[in-house]
């Protein structure tokens, strides 16, 4: 099982496995915590499902995403992934997830995006999953 944390508007704030939930850098009393299945966690983590909360009901909707070319994927990595990783790495050196996130950042920055066939008809995270690359979705970063 896993956890999903939502703000008062029902928008997702964080996702975590049960074991990583204790390591989140959020005040959990400010958010609604919901238990989700491992398969739902995996789908949100890969970006194939969008998650939200309506009342007390967790909603999952299919998502499809495509990067038409290397520039689009590079922009996503540079403008979304790396800044999220940097924000965490800059102030959490003793955190239990630090080494894994640091390694993911190195892999992401060193990846030769020209070797990917475009359009990439998936999320970056789904690409990583499909190619056995250890990754973290931005919603997993504490």
Q: For 55-86, b where at least 16 C-beta lie within 10 A, e where not — what string? A: eeebebeeeeeebeeeeebeeebeeebeebbe
Residues 131 and 78 occupy one common structural domain = yes
pLDDT score of 1 more than 90: yes
Report the pLDDT value the prediction gives residue 59, as an integer from 0 to 100: 97
Give the predicted TM-score (pTM) of the model. 0.90
Report the pLDDT value the prediction gives residue 106, as an integer from 0 to 100: 96
Residues 77 and 134 occupy one common structural domain = yes
62, 79, 108: which is the final residue of a domain?
62
Domain that holds residue 135: 70-140
Residues 35 and 95 occupy one common structural domain = no
Residues 97 and 53 occupy one common structural domain = no
Report the pLDDT value the prediction gives residue 26, as an integer from 0 to 100: 85
In which band, very low, low, confident or very high, does the pLDDT at 141 lie, cut at 50, 70 and 90?
Answer: very high
Residues 14 and 34 occupy one common structural domain = yes
The tens digit of pLDDT for each residue in 72-104 reads: 999 999 999 999 999 999 999 999 999 999 999
Residues 78 and 54 occupy one common structural domain = no
In which band, very low, low, confident or very high, does the pLDDT at 119 lie, cut at 50, 70 and 90?
Answer: very high
The tens digit of pLDDT for each residue in 8-51 reads: 999 999 999 998 988 888 888 899 999 999 999 999 999 999 99
Report the pLDDT value the prediction gives residue 25, as an integer from 0 to 100: 82
pLDDT score of 135 more than 90: yes
Angle of helix 98-110 relative to helix 82-89, nearest 10 degrees, comes to 150
Kind plus residue range of the DSSP H or E element containing 54? strand 49-54
Residues 39 and 94 occupy one common structural domain = no
On whether the CB atoms of residues 62 and 26 are closer than 8 A, the answer is no
Provide the domain count of the chain.
Answer: 2
């Amino acid at each position: 099982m896993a956890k999903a944390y939502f703000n008062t508007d029902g928008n997702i704030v964080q996702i975590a496995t049960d074991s990583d939930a204790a390591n989140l850098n959020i005040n959990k009393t400010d958010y609604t915590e919901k238990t989700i299945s491992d398969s739902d966690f995996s789908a949100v983590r890969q970006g194939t499902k969008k998650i939200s909360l309506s009342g007390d009901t967790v909603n999952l909707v299919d998502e499809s995403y495509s990067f038409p070319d290397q520039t689009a994927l590079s922009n996503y990595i540079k403008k979304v992934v790396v800044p999220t990783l940097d924000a965490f790495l800059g102030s959490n050196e003793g955190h239990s997830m630090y080494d894994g996130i640091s390694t993911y950042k190195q892999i992401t920055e060193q990846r030769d995006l020209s070797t990917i066939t475009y359009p990439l008809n998936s999320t970056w995270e789904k690409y990583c999953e499909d190619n056995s690359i250890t990754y973290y979705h931005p919603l997993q970063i504490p």
